Chain A
């Protein structure tokens, strides 16, 4: 529809008339569920208005813990809390009296915006809440990556062995729960929607039906094109770079051995159970040039369902979909994230490792001299 006549068709008054009579009734602790009934406000140019700051912190594991079997959701917040308490107790490290608990790194600047969610996994499809099997090629890449990480762990031979997030380049696509700074601002203008993630990345997605970028242009955020299906913003992304290896979390492949894990991380209990790392402190499987489909559906005045489908036939035998509710956080101020400018962590880690190399080389030289005497 042309921009000339759209405003006439969707005037504010008309939109209100057309809004379904049955609106979602918000109840305390309401869960993120598909709700066709909610009609969000409209922009002056008549698109559903999703604008504002959201957060999507989660205490739900990506995959359903094996022990939960067919349980798709907990019956109540109490039941969920009890399960989390038991799981934490099981995986708690043995007490270390010599090391007093100083709390988690950065805990003071990780205010929790955990979105209520009684589901037992973010993964919704396959319905068992478990990732589909990897392809032989995907498994081979995963093993090679794990082996490389095992060899390079804490060696800091090169910046290239460091996660792209710690190199201040990009966070993995698509976004999952992260420890902090996951506030995300949505701004719309006619024909465009922008996602400003507090950390590193901004995506500006055209809604005008243009084709994706030339396949020769691979980007960290890929090439995204959006359209509206009712009140749902659908974003299709291709041309993703295969240089990132951060998604999804490899919580079930610790050292190549499958192990149910519901809680715990190298960062301590302060970090919710949704953030999971492999034994090397790195999350994620290798990714190919996958097709990503994201669906943003506002379900009430606060909550928006975020559904992401990853179709990566070179890595996975089937596509899979996860659902991660986003919630409006109107008081969340997104600040500048000048990461690369002050990346002393990367510089000092490399510099420290080269110093250790030097010390080790000198020690080896001395030893050689002694043995040759």
Chain B
């Protein structure tokens, strides 16, 4: 594992460690050569394996917004929408006029329309910045991303296959390397998922190009280019950092929310006593 450093003396410590590595030659191939090097696999590619999580307000609203009250009065401050800056290149999402109106309608009906409320699969890129960690497993020719949310997961095929045979909630992912960046072409979406809790949406013409680029040993830059000619006037980009979960014993815990939403979805169909 890379050595984690912080504080004013970290530079000195790093220099000392680098010197030690040179002196005794303990640095094996594939290991980071200093505190600033990203881990690499035996074939020299960045090793994206690990547990990652987005921090911030992208899932609340990709665009700049002030705080808003909770739609569930009983939840008070716990359910309130925190303020946030925009994660969208250029600030706002370039909707076609009809789509801008639909977005407003979605936002008004957040509680009844947001697929996240129902524990439906979140789609891409929303899965990345949901408030749950996700884990990447990487081995030669294989990429698996498992999300902490529900049973969401994606196998990223490193041999390009083109469009998928049917539509998917999580799309159909083909990956390749461009230098140190893992580029994932995601196509074959259905039109059921949203980008956030603010009603931002897409059609089944969505094409997402994701780019995972090492920033520091514990940070990735995540970029998603969104193309959907049925909904937007031009392609637009989401950019946010991903943070490594550095707790020594970090692991994904089950969040099988299908079970947690049954009363919401089916409660009105349950037999009531005396009826």
Contact = CB atoms under 8 A, between A and B. Distances in A.
B9 interface: no
A312 B252 CA distance: 26
A158 B29 CA distance: 58
Given A189-B137, A357-B271, A169 B266 contact: no
B119 interface: yes
Contacts of B119: 340
Interface string B165-188: 010111000000000000000000
A45 B42 CA distance: 8
Contact of A4 (B28, B49, B253, B258): B28
A11 B275 CA distance: 71
B271 A167 contact: no
B139 A194 contact: no
B144 A169 contact: no
A353 B272 CA distance: 12
B151 interface: yes
A51 B144 CA distance: 12
A40 to B, nearest CB: 14
A139 interface: no
Contacts of B49: 189-190, 192
Interface in A17-53: 43-45, 51
Given A194-B137, A350-B270, A351-B269, A202 B153 contact: yes
B271 A354 contact: yes
B270 to A, nearest CB: 5
A185 B135 CA distance: 16
Contacts of A16: none
B105 interface: no
Interface in B34-52: 41-43, 47, 49
A334 B155 contact: yes
A220 B256 contact: yes
Contacts of A334: 155
Interface string A315-342: 0000000000000000000111111110
A221 B121 contact: no
A196 interface: yes
A350 B265 CA distance: 11
A167 B262 contact: yes
Nearest to B142: A187
Nearest to A211: B249
Interface string A213-250: 10001011100000000000000000000000000000
A104 interface: no
Interface in A194-211: 194, 196, 200-202, 204, 206, 210
B271 A159 contact: no
A289 B120 CA distance: 29
Interface in B186-203: 192
A336 B26 contact: no
Given A194-B146, A340-B258, A354 B192 contact: no
B271 A157 contact: yes
A168 B142 CA distance: 27
B1 to A, nearest CB: 8
Interface string B239-275: 0000000000101111010110010011001110001
A347 B256 contact: no
A283 interface: no
Give the interface residue-count category, chain B: 35 or more
B10 to A, nearest CB: 22
A8 interface: yes
A357 B270 CA distance: 11
Nearest to B161: A333
B138 interface: yes
Nearest to B254: A219
B258 A167 contact: yes
Given A157-B270, A169-B256, A44 B153 contact: no
B150 A7 contact: no
B186 to A, nearest CB: 12
A346 interface: yes
Given A202-B153, A357-B275, A44 B254 contact: no
A113 interface: no
Contact of A158 (B41, B42, B270, B275): B270
Nearest to B119: A340
B30 interface: yes
A158 B266 CA distance: 8
Contacts of B67: none
A219 B269 contact: no
Nearest to B266: A159
B254 A336 contact: no
A158 to B, nearest CB: 5
B133 to A, nearest CB: 11
Contacts of B237: none
Given A164-B259, A219-B253, 15 more contacts: A5-B28, A159-B262, A167-B259, A169-B258, A185-B155, A192-B135, A202-B146, A202-B153, A204-B135, A210-B249, A335-B166, A336-B168, A340-B119, A340-B150, A357-B275
26 contacts: A5-B28, A44-B42, A45-B42, A51-B142, A158-B271, A159-B270, A164-B259, A167-B258, A189-B138, A192-B49, A194-B144, A196-B144, A196-B146, A204-B146, A210-B249, A217-B253, A221-B254, A334-B155, A336-B170, A338-B121, A339-B258, A340-B258, A347-B269, A350-B270, A354-B271, A361-B275
